Every structure is written in C-alpha cells, then in structure tokens.
Amino acid sequence: MTEKQSGPAPDNHWLVRPSTIRILWILFIAMLAATVVAQLFVEPHASFGIDGWLGFAAIFGFSSCALMVVVAKLLGYILKRPEGHYDD
C-alpha cells in the first residue's frame, strides 16, 4: 500500500516554473530601479557618507539579498545530515 502525496507535483510548483522565475526577476529589477528613480526626486538624509549616494538603496538591497542566499547555502551544507541519518 503506497501513500499518495497531496498537493501539486514537485516539478510543477509555481515557484519552479520558468515563466514565474522570469516574472519574479523582472519584478525584483523593477523594484531596484524604482528605488533609484525615487532617489532622484527625494533628497536622502544621509546618516553616513555612503548612504547618500545615488542608487545606494538598490545596491544595498541587492547585496543584502545575495548575501542571504550565500549564507543560506552555507548553512545548508553545514546542517545537512547524511541520507540515512534518521533510519533505524
């Protein structure tokens, strides 16, 4: 007797589809561009010298996101268990 998985197949999940990934990248780039354009119209009140630069928010946002991905990957390698770890 086999158990059926509930929900969509893993290869058909909406976050795995190439069309969805493309849309998410376009939205991400549009948000970064919007922060640069908004900075043209709003005068930044910089607390430090670097945060007053044009495009700082976009650069900071992108680098923060990239750093989170790298840290998550490293944590995955560190915390990974062997394949038969939970078998008796």
- Is the predicted pLDDT of residue 1 greater than 70, yes or no? no
Q: Do residues 71 and 45 lie in contact, with contact meaning Cβ atoms separated by under 8 Å?
A: no
pLDDT of residue 80: 86
Domain ranges of the chain: 1-42, 47-82
Q: Read off the pLDDT of residues 19-69 as tens digits, 9 standing for 90 and up.
A: 888 999 999 889 888 888 988 898 888 888 888 888 888 889 889 989 999
pLDDT at 75: 95
What token pair was written down for 6?
């509930």
* C-alpha span between 27 and 52 (Å, rounded): 25
pTM: 0.59
Cβ–Cβ contacts within 10 Å for residue 36, how many?
14
Nearest to 59 by CA among 19, 21, 32: 32
Hey, what are 38's tokens? 């908004």
Token pair belonging to 78: 């560190």
